[in-house]
Amino acid sequence: MTSADLLATLRRRWYVLLAGLCCTGLAYWGLSQSAPVYAAQSDFVFAEPGLPGQGRSLTGTEPQTLIDFTAIVERKVLAGATSTKLASPTASLFGTGIRQGTSISMLDTGGQWLSSFSRPVLSVQVAAPSPEEVSAEMERVLLEVRAVSEALQADAGAAPSSMISVERAPEDLIITSFGKTKMGEAKALTVLSVTGLGLSCAAAAATDAMALRRARTGRRHRSGNGKRARAEAAAWQG
């Protein structure tokens, strides 16, 4: 099909082309309405009480009792709460298609087939429609974890000076934005425009070809009926 043939087809089937372009416009409008997602990840580190001036950073040789205590706090916090279960330790909320939610779990340092909880750390992920909501939810979870930790130790009779502390690492929350950008919108518009125009032209050409085939079939059918009628008339006269 030449360019002239295609233009003639589009003139005849302009309504098909218009319908395709309208669908393309609706697709782009739907894409432009998608809101960005903000997410952050923090580690809540459980540390033993240190002497004055002594740091509380993890050494990799923390006692098993501290790791067990972290697991108890995790279960208490998750009891009756809504937390998203991720498929793997390295998975993220946004990467699994979750646009709003919270994930709380012990830091798994194992591989794909074997879990290993060797550090007293809770890994917390938050996804929300705005950075303010992410920050507020992360702070809420931190306060809840600290409250549960202190309550468990107070019930066991621990003195405030000998209590396990919970620190957030990193201290400054890093919030990442996932969503549309001006460059991304321009690329999406280009791809949608080219694809939509191509599909619309193809649909118009296919519709025109089907209509022409039906017209030719109808003419052949009428021609065949006319020949049979003339033959029958000649035979009757003979």
Q: Please determine, for residue 183, whether its predicted confidence score (pLDDT) is greater than 70.
A: no
Task: Sketch the domain layout of the chain as residue ranges.
Answer: 3-33+182-237, 37-178
Stronger pLDDT, 195 or 85, i.e. the higher one: 195
Query: What is the rounded (10 degree) CA torsion for 140, 145, 148, 150?
Result: -110
Instruction: Give the pair of three-digit tokens for residue 86.
Output: 């991720």
Nearest to 173 by CA among 225, 207, 137: 137
Amino acid identity, position 56: R
DSSP 3-state percent helix, strand, coil across the chain (nearest 5): 55, 15, 30
pLDDT at 215 (0 to 100): 74
Instruction: Give the whole-angstrom CA distance, residue 236 versus residue 141.
Output: 99
- Taking only the tens place, the pLDDT of each residue in 83-120 is 666 655 567 777 777 788 888 888 766 655 656 677 88
- Taking only the tens place, the pLDDT of each residue in 144-175 is 999 999 999 999 998 888 889 999 988 888 88
pLDDT at 105 (0 to 100): 87
Q: What are phi and psi of 116, to 5 degrees?
A: -145, 115
- Taking only the tens place, the pLDDT of each residue in 28-77 is 777 666 678 899 999 999 988 864 444 455 555 558 888 899 999 999 99
Within 10 angstroms of residue 139's Cβ, the number of other Cβ atoms is 13
Q: What angle do CA 217, 220, 225 make, to 5 degrees?
A: 125
pLDDT at 101 (0 to 100): 87
Whose structure tokens read 């879990």? 115
Instruction: Give the whole-angstrom CA distance, residue 47 versus residue 2.
Output: 76
Instruction: Give the whole-angstrom CA distance, residue 27 versus residue 21.
Output: 10
Nearest to 67 by CA among 146, 145, 120, 105: 120
Neighbouring C-alpha atoms within 13 Å toward the C-beta of 106: 21
Q: CATH number of the domain at 37-178, out of 2.30.30, 3.30.70, 1.10.260, 3.40.50?
A: 3.30.70
Stronger pLDDT, 196 or 186, i.e. the higher one: 196
Confirm if 149 and 73 have CB atoms less than 8 A apart. Answer: yes
